[in-house]
Structure 1
């Protein structure tokens, strides 16, 4: 066969090789024209935003802090736990089994009811109460949750009167139809219901009765959490959950078999802000469609204490903690920030690591800045102490320990501005203290052995 014939037969292979060579030359040329990619590990710590091909690469260099489970409770731990449990002794209503959201304020949400269940399980693990008392308390509350009237016969209302079980608004005044439902609040409660069935299997039928009463499918759509909100007398369905809270709520709903692929995906709406040299995960959407979203400690410490971190949340939590410690080391100002109640108007704020467009911003529900009410929070201090056990976390707890009131429980903490006590005493703070102390002895509550 002639050379020409061989060349004709091999023409397809030759064309492929020529095309491959041309493609390689084009790629090399484009790489030479493009600016060098910035190594995330080399990013200037003074920059506000980390540029990266994927925001998650900003956390590649974050080494998760080791967990500080010690396997036992010290006498000091148990004394702290007794103070926290006193709050629940003082604030449980005997007829409904529900607990005041704040000391002597007879209203609650599903989030705070979930916190109460966490507190009971933790108190049992710490032998502060007996297993029989724990089951009796939870059983009574479960009966109430099964019997209480729902918003539009769909899901629990956003708030209830703990004495009567009536639907109420946020001022604890009765409302006939209700306010709608909070998907995040309900998801948090659902996560604690799963913990109940693991710790107390004989209460599983009561949990099943609640889940049969509620239509959880109404708060899940296309892998997202969907809240129900009243607007001009009509029900509006809104996506709920931002980075941190969204993944925490998604984990709870996945325990019940729901596909939460979009809610669990932190990267889809993730931007990274540098605070005190640490990459801080921030959602790129507005909070309540009003103000730039914020990052607080709350969902991350709940995730660690209750479920146990996954690889992503462990890195996020480490960076969020380290930024707070670094602020203290640089300024000498005690720092343990999260959402917190106040003992005066407006009564609730989000003290952020980054939020509203700036580091360390304190935001109201409406997105107003209120930095004067930044609180060194008791619950955050105990949570970091339990999770990571660092010297700074130990120092924080020691600084706040004198605030514990054996007759009332733990208050929110200290106002940073003047060192005075934020005297609001709440379900959430005292539940986190108990959960943190139980974690020190047993690890994550959902895996803790009886």
Structure 2
């Protein structure tokens, strides 16, 4: 039989296959266009969920109770114990002489807050901040451009995360540096006499390397080469954008939460979730922390007030529904892997607890000290009072506040850190004075 004859016999099958192929192309094209259209509309659609969220009123009282001051004094003891007298830098955790730019920013926030609460006077406040500024002006930078990801507290040398010296460094974290920039903005607002020195510090940093097209860009060493990565997810990204905008940087993409926003309902509340991976490693998750910083330091804007109110309300609702006190965020823990992200939503599930690498560690969910104090200062509800009452017995006048209480068995998460004690001070100062960016009264 000739090829022509075979072709004629097969023509009906060929026509069918051709039609099927055309149909698949058409369906794929339509599906892609619908997905692209859905992607462009998802931010606006997601934001619509928050129109029904009524922002909770802030609980600024203008006063500090004797109990508040006792709690604040315990938090400040951490900084008394952990400040190096030569560099002025503060240990990231109790007696561990390593720090990050983020944690140095936390120290500035703690110092300004302690001053507002009357725990230290203006002279000590200025002296403490001034010593760190002197160190920052002399500290070696990664590639002579930006602060390295970690430093030795005692020497100011570049180190890795094991606090071991490294010649070039690890790269830079744009989020950490933005947090430090926020702290410098708070210093300028409260102590204008230090503004000239904060300007000299920032002049050393080539901040243009970490801002591109309105986004935050981190520098990471990978296989010996420097790799540039976008940094920040919904919550942290907008907090960092506010910090950079204080100094005139155009952060239009970073401040735009809607572009990468999806909503997941948790305990009947709309929870803002980023559509991207967290640090390009683990599935996106939502924690309390960036919203606490935003409220305590800058004062909420209309959007972050709604986001924060919903995130808080979900945690209270979980308690009402289960009887389990809930105050979640990222935190240190006192066993390996030593750092976790306790989410409201993350990794595809409500209330997931995850390591940096994405391992589920729900048994380490912590009723977190800093979250309890911060929600109580911001919103002052009956539930936040219950949270603080549960945490209060943990305070140690000799060491400061530990991370919190393990939900699973009620034991203490005994890690004691700069960030937790800084947030406790910032929260108690907020109750009496309002957001930190406001000039001291």
Q: Deviations over 1:383-428 (max 9, x none)?
A: 0000000000011001110000000000000000100000000000
Aligned position for 1:336: 327
Aligned pairs (5 A) from 1:405-424 = 405-424=396-415
Aligned pairs (5 A) from 1:352-367 = 352-367=343-358
Shift in Å, 1:64: 0.3
Shift in Å, 1:289: 1.6
Q: Matched residues in 2 for 1:193 and 1:144: separation?
A: 14
| Residue in structure 2 matching 1:135, options 126, 140, 159 | 126
Q: Over aligned residue pairs, what C-alpha RMSD do you find?
A: 1.1
Contact 2:92 2:417 in 1 (8 A): yes
User: Is the partner of 2:358 in helix, strand or coil?
Assistant: coil
Q: Matched residues in 2 for 1:366 and 1:257: separation?
A: 35
Q: Matched residues in 2 for 1:149 and 1:423: separation?
A: 33
| Residue in structure 2 matching 1:202, options 180, 190, 193 | 193
Aligned pairs (5 A) from 1:228-243 = 228-243=219-234
Aligned position for 1:21: none
Aligned position for 1:31: none
Matched, 1:158 2:124: no
User: Is the partner of 1:349 in helix, strand or coil?
Assistant: strand
Aligned position for 1:64: 55
Report the CA distance shift for 1:52/1:345 in structure 2 as closer, same or farther (over 3 A): closer
Matched, 1:449 2:425: no
Aligned position for 1:300: 291
Matched, 1:262 2:253: yes
Report the CA distance shift for 1:327/1:203 in structure 2 as closer, same or farther (over 3 A): same
Matched, 1:214 2:215: no
User: Is the partner of 1:235 in helix, strand or coil?
Assistant: strand
Which contiguous aligned blocks of 4+ residues in structure 1 show a shift greater than 3 angstroms?
A: none
Contact 1:340 1:350 in 2 (8 A): yes
User: Is the partner of 2:160 in helix, strand or coil?
Assistant: coil
Q: Deviations over 1:31-61 (max 9, x none)?
A: xxxxxxxxxxxxxxxxxxxx89621000000
Q: Matched residues in 1 for 2:391 and 2:279: separation?
A: 32
Greater shift after overlay, 111-120 or 287-296? 287-296
Shift in Å, 1:291: 2.0
Q: Matched residues in 1 for 2:370 and 2:61: separation?
A: 19
Q: Matched residues in 1 for 2:291 and 2:363: separation?
A: 24
Contact 2:84 2:90 in 1 (8 A): yes
Aligned position for 1:84: 75
Q: Deviations over 1:221-252 (max 9, x none)?
A: 00000000000000000000000000000000
Q: Matched residues in 2 for 1:277 and 1:198: separation?
A: 39
For structure 1, the 5+ residue unaligned runs are 1-50
User: Is the partner of 1:67 in helix, strand or coil?
Assistant: coil
User: Is the partner of 1:447 in helix, strand or coil?
Assistant: coil
Q: Deviations over 1:250-275 (max 9, x none)?
A: 00000010000000000000000000
| Residue in structure 2 matching 1:404, options 395, 398, 407 | 395
| Residue in structure 1 matching 2:419, options 411, 425, 428 | 428
Q: Matched residues in 1 for 2:202 and 2:78: separation?
A: 28
Contact 1:93 1:99 in 2 (8 A): yes
Q: Matched residues in 1 for 2:61 and 2:307: separation?
A: 23
Contact 2:189 2:439 in 1 (8 A): no
For structure 2, the 5+ residue unaligned runs are 1-41
Aligned position for 2:279: 288
Q: Matched residues in 1 for 2:199 and 2:232: separation?
A: 26
Q: Matched residues in 2 for 1:144 and 1:53: separation?
A: 45
User: Is the partner of 1:335 in helix, strand or coil?
Assistant: coil
Aligned position for 1:115: 106
Contact 2:150 2:160 in 1 (8 A): yes
Aligned position for 2:19: none
User: Is the partner of 2:220 in helix, strand or coil?
Assistant: strand
Contact 1:155 1:214 in 2 (8 A): yes
Shift in Å, 1:308: 0.3
Contact 1:442 1:448 in 2 (8 A): no
Shift in Å, 1:290: 2.2
Q: Matched residues in 1 for 2:163 and 2:346: separation?
A: 29
Aligned position for 1:30: none
Greater shift after overlay, 186-195 or 288-297? 288-297
Q: Matched residues in 2 for 1:388 and 1:440: separation?
A: 10
Matched, 1:93 2:72: no
| Residue in structure 1 matching 2:217, options 203, 223, 226 | 226
Aligned position for 1:147: 138
Normalising to structure 2: TM-score of the pair?
0.90
Contact 1:52 1:58 in 2 (8 A): no
